Each structure stands twice: as structure tokens, then as C-alpha cells.
Amino acid sequence: MKMGKMLKRPDSRTPLGRLAVIVALPLMLGACGAYGPAFTEPSAPNLHQGAIYVYRMTAFAAGASRQPVLVDGVQVAVLKNGGYFRRDLAPGDHTLEVKGFGPAAINFSVEPGKTLFYRYTIEHKSAEHIYGSLAFNHKFASSLDSIPPNIALIELKQTQGLD
């Protein structure tokens, strides 16, 4: 009995292989970031509560990573590259923490009817070659910063909501 011809995986060195890489790469990378509705304008918080916006600008460094976000120790979202979310909070003192590339936490106070903005950033610090291999050990640093509303509203327009 004669067996059918085996299909071979496209070789990236051939024109067909290059085409496969060119088509597949944007599709894979596109799935890494946020893909909800684009930010337009902040919605006003309830008069008896305050609101926070937490966002991450689109960046290549750790672009496919997703970080759990906690408010007062409870996970409220998973922050993606180029994404944002909004939460209403009761007035008073709170803690915002983003898990991931080192400690990134901030204490803040919410006032009724007020909105606060926080930007999470991941930076690539260095890469060390692992001796005897083709691999590198990458070092990242992260920060969580309070951003003035006039700057945050400009930056947020470059983000999309989280699903």
C-alpha cells in the first residue's frame, strides 16, 4: 500500500516560509494587547464615590505579558499592553498594586466625585547572554505612577479597554 505524500512544515528560508511568518507574526502579536473599545472620555464617578483609571501604554518591552491588578489586596483586573480599566471606589485610603516585574504599588486616597489616574510602565533594563546557548536572560523594571489628568487624558486616548 502506497502512503500519501507527507506535508512538510514551511521553511522560513523559502519564499513560502517567509510569507507564512509575515502573515502569522502580526496575528500572534495582535492577540497580546488590549482589544476592547478605544478610550474616548472619562465617565464621571458617582457623587458618593471616586474613580480610578489604570492604564499601560503600548510598548514592545514585555508586550505579551499581562499583569494582575489588585485594589486593597483583591484582584480587579488583568492589565494588558495598551489597555486601561476604570473602577469606582468608596472614599478613603486604598492601595493599588500591579503584580509582575518587581514590586509596583501605590497608596492613595479617594475623594467623592474625584477621578485619579495611574500609569503602569515596564522597561527593559538589560539582557545577559547565557553562556553556551543562544538564549538571553532579560531584566525588566516596572513602575506605577500617579499621572496628572491633563497628561493621562491624552495618553489614555492611545489605549483600549480591557474585556
Kindly report the CATH number assigned to the domain that includes residue 119. 2.60.40.1120
Kindly state whether residue 156 falls inside one of the protein's structural domains: yes
Three-state secondary-structure class, residue 76: strand
Number of domains in the chain: 1
- Residue 135's domain comprises 34-161
Residue 24 forms part of a structural domain: no
For 11-161, strand residue ranges (E) read: 50-55, 67-71, 74-79, 83-89, 92-98, 104-110, 115-129, 136-146, 160-161
List the grid coordinates of 145: 505612577
Asked whether residue 19 is assigned to any structural domain, the reply reads: no
CA dist., res. 99 & res. 74, Å (int):
12
- Identify which has the larger pLDDT, 122 or 108: 108
Highest mean pLDDT among 21-35, 47-61, 125-139: 47-61
User: Alpha helices, DSSP H only, in 1-138?
Assistant: 15-30
In a domain, 135, yes or no: yes
Is the distance from CB of 68 to CB of 76 less than 8 angstroms?
A: no
For the residues 100-107, what does the mean pLDDT come to? 85
- Given a cut of 60, whether residue 63 has pLDDT beyond it is yes
Q: Which range among 31-35, 69-73, 100-104, 127-131 has the greatest average pLDDT?
A: 69-73
